[in-house]
Structures are given as C-alpha cells and as structure tokens.
A and B are shown apart, each in its own frame.
Chain A
Amino acid sequence: MKYRHLFITLLMSVVAPLHMAVAQFVPIPPLTEPVIDQAGVLSSTARGDIEREVRALKEEKGSEVAVLIVPSTKPEEIEQFSIRVVERWKLGRKGIDDGVLLLVAVQDRRVRIEVGRGLEGDVPDVKAFRIIDEVILPQFKAGNISGGIRAGVEAIVGLIRGVDLPPPAATDDSAADLYFPLAVFGYVAGALLGSLFGILIGAGIAGVGTFLIGYTLFSLAAAIGLGVLVLVLVLLLRGTHGGVGDRGYRGGTSYGGRTSSGGFGGSFGGGSFGSGGSFSGGGSSGRW
C-alpha cells in the first residue's frame, strides 16, 4: 500500500505537467445541444432550421449530426481539436457509430467534417471533401457563414438519409443486454453455493461475485445494483421456493430503468445526443 502511494505521487508529478499543457488548448464545451455557436455567426433562423433538421434526422434514422462553431482552435490544428471533441462527445449510437460533426473555426478560416466509424463507408472522405468544396466553401468565400453551415448540414443529412442503418429503436446501451444473463448466472451460482455452504454464505459469495463481474463489464452503479439484487434473490430462497422468478423479473426491470438514465452529454427534445459513437479520424477539412 505504501508503494502504491509513492507510485501515485510519482505518477502525478509526471502527469501534472502534461495536464497543464492540455489546459492551454481550447476547452471543449459540453454537448448541451446539437448546435453550439461560440463565435456567434449563426442567424437565429439558420440555427433553428439546423436544429430541426438534425433532430428530425435523429428521430428518423438514429444518427447524430452536430455543429460546433468556435472562433479558433489554435494552437491545435482543426483536425486535432476535432478528434478531441468527438472523443468527448461520442456522437452517434454506440456500436453503430453513426455520428458526424461539422466544425467551423471562424478566425482560422478552417472547416472540418468529422465522420463516425460507422458512416465512413457511406460518407467517405471524398464525399465529405465535396460537401466542403462544393457546398460550404463557395458560401463561406462569399461571406455567408450562416448559409454555408446550413447548406453543409443539409447535404450531410441528405447523405445519411439515403444510408441503410439499423432503425433508431435499436437502443444504444448494448451492455444492458447482459444485465439479465449476469443476474441469472449469479442467482444460479448463489443457489448452488447456498446448498453447499448454507444460504447466507452462498448469497454473500454470489452477491460479491456478481458485483465483481458486473464491475468489469458495466458501471459501478450497475455492479452494485446487480450484486444487491442477486444477494437478495438468493436470500429469498431461504424461506420459500415459490414466486422467486416473478420477483426476480420485476427487480430486473425496475433496475434497468434506473441505470439507463446515465447517458453521455446533455439531452433535449427528441432524445439526447452523444450516445457512445466512436471515431477514427475519417472525414475532410478545408479552408477559405
């Protein structure tokens, strides 16, 4: 334990300077809404149109398109800043990775379309480049930033509309699918151990075991919930054997409802953006 403290101190002395270097970068705003304009260039109508457009897309296809406008990304290149933003925001659904970010750095006169892993086939670099080159940049060059962004979003949304994606009902929290099997596994193991060592010990081991497995797979909250659930269920075996299945099912349901609220990012009408999508640097950049 002593060593561990020493190690952490050493680690901090290495990490802290790195942290300070990071602090000089442009901070990433929280994803409170799908259109964030820190440079104040969007007209209110354009902004409203874009928001409606991307929310409609999310409802229709599940894909998440967001817009971020900053004055500058300096000292980073737009590509570096962009990948940091999407790594934080996690646009798109988990496992489907169907998010797109349109990033504009007004003073740097740079624009980038960052495409999620799952859309790289349908929105390849060349198409992203053409949207920038043929749709966005002509308007930017004419001084119409607001119009260029709106046209760009329209083009991106239009492209995604034509893509064959899993329907939005396919929920994003695939890990939650494992809650039930784990609870059943813990319950069965607890019942077996209980018959060997007595129900109290069996319930204890099963509860702790479920918690440990749950903790490696899910969040801490989910692990505690599952552990307690299994503990209680196995303890219930002590008295009667009837009705346990029913109770288990009900417990599982109410539990699932509680954890699913812990999503990323902010939420607004039509569901929250930032559902766990991943990016690998696909897309295109341009300057005007």
Chain B
Amino acid sequence: MKRILIALMTCVTLLSMGGCGYNTIQQQDEQVTAAWSDVVNQYKRRADLIPNLVNVVKGYAAHEEEVLTKVTEARTKATSLTADASVLANDEAFKRFQEAQSALSGSLSRLLAIAENYPQLKADGNFRDLQAQIEGTENRITVARTRYIEAVRAYNITIRSFPSNLTAKMFGYAVKPNFTVENEKAIAEAPKVTFD
C-alpha cells in the first residue's frame, strides 16, 4: 500500500510540475533571452558597418558633414548603452535602447538617401558592398525583432494566464517588454536600399 502511495505521489508531483506551466515558462523565458541576444547581435553588426560607410561617403561627399556627424553620434549613443538580458527586466532601459537604435536607423537612412545625389559615390565598389551589407543587416534586424516579438508574446500570454500565472508569481517571472507598434513603424521605414 505504502509503495503504491509513493509511486502515485511521484507521478502526481511530476504531472503537476508540468500542469502548472513551470516547464513552459522556463522554455519560453529561454526563448525570449535567445531572441533578444539575436536582436542585439544584429544591431551590433549594423553598428560595426557604420564607420566604414562614413569613411567611404566622406571620400565623395565631405561637405555633408552634418549628416555624417549625426550618424556617428547616433552610433556612439546606441553602442554605449548596455544591451544584455538585464535590459529585459527594466522597462526604462529597454525604451532607451529602442530609442537609440531607432534614432540610428533614422540618421542612417538620411545618409543613404543623400548618397543618391552622388553618382560617383554610388558607382564606388566599396560603397556598393557596404550598401549590400547594411541592407542585409537591416533585414536581419527585422527578422530578429519579429522573432523577439513572437517569443515575448508567447511568454507573456503564459505568465498572464491561469494557472501558470501563479507559478510565474511564485518563481518571480515578470512580464517582459516588447517592441511597440510605434517602433514597428520605424522598422518599416528603415533604410531601403535599392540599385535601380
């Protein structure tokens, strides 16, 4: 009798751990962190391309100093912010990170827009390569952000719904910040480079 009881208890404990959503929360939390680090990596990749781009543009359009300085400043600001997973626990930091990146997107797209006025620049092989890399990176950023948005959506639904919300509360899992619609608009307006 006692044996059966122990066996039953083991089964019940195992099942209830699954039933209260602990494993799901764990898994989805992990996915959010992974998706976030992908977002950060892609932004970093973009930031790494900018100094070269600025140099190449300078060679042909040195008097566009204002635009060039703005890009450099926006880059410095964006890269100076912490971007590790701790940002996800801090709405303020998350907002700052977003704003800095979208400011950089804006100044970068202005820089690429003025490049259109310089045929020699547009014909430069280095510039074309950099443009292709930046275009590719912008697309990666979009993909990484979309995956982050999906991961956070799934996670937030889990920790807000019954009964897993009780588990989440017990183990201290909080709602994670997501990219806002406003910002999704900003992505849609990210520099679109074409080669007509």
By a beta-carbon cutoff of 8 Å, the part of chain A in contact with chain B is: 3-4, 7, 11, 79, 83, 124-126, 128-129, 133, 196-198, 201, 204-205, 208-209, 212, 216, 279-287
Contacts and interface: CB of A to CB of B under 8 A. Distances in A.
B86 to A, nearest CB: 23
Nearest to A204: B7
Interface on chain A toward B: helix, strand, loop, or mixed SS? helix
A204 B141 CA distance: 49
Contacts of B38: 280
Nearest to A285: B135
B140 A282 contact: yes
A280 B144 contact: yes
Interface of B: 3-4, 6-7, 10-11, 14, 18, 23, 38, 42, 128-129, 132-133, 135-137, 139-144, 157, 161-163, 194-196
Nearest to A114: B139
Contacts of A280: 38, 42, 140, 143-144
B132 to A, nearest CB: 4
A195 to B, nearest CB: 12
Contacts, number: 71
Which of the listed residues A83, A204, A209 has the most CB atoms from chain B within 10 Å of its own CB? A83
Contacts of B136: 125, 128-129, 281-284
Which of the listed residues B4, B38, B195 has the most CB atoms from chain A within 10 Å of its own CB? B195
B135 A281 contact: no
A201 B3 contact: yes
A282 B161 CA distance: 36
Contact of A83 (B4, B7, B143): B143
B139 to A, nearest CB: 5
Contact of B163 (A3, A205, A282): A3
B140 to A, nearest CB: 4
B144 A281 contact: yes
Contacts of A128: 132, 136
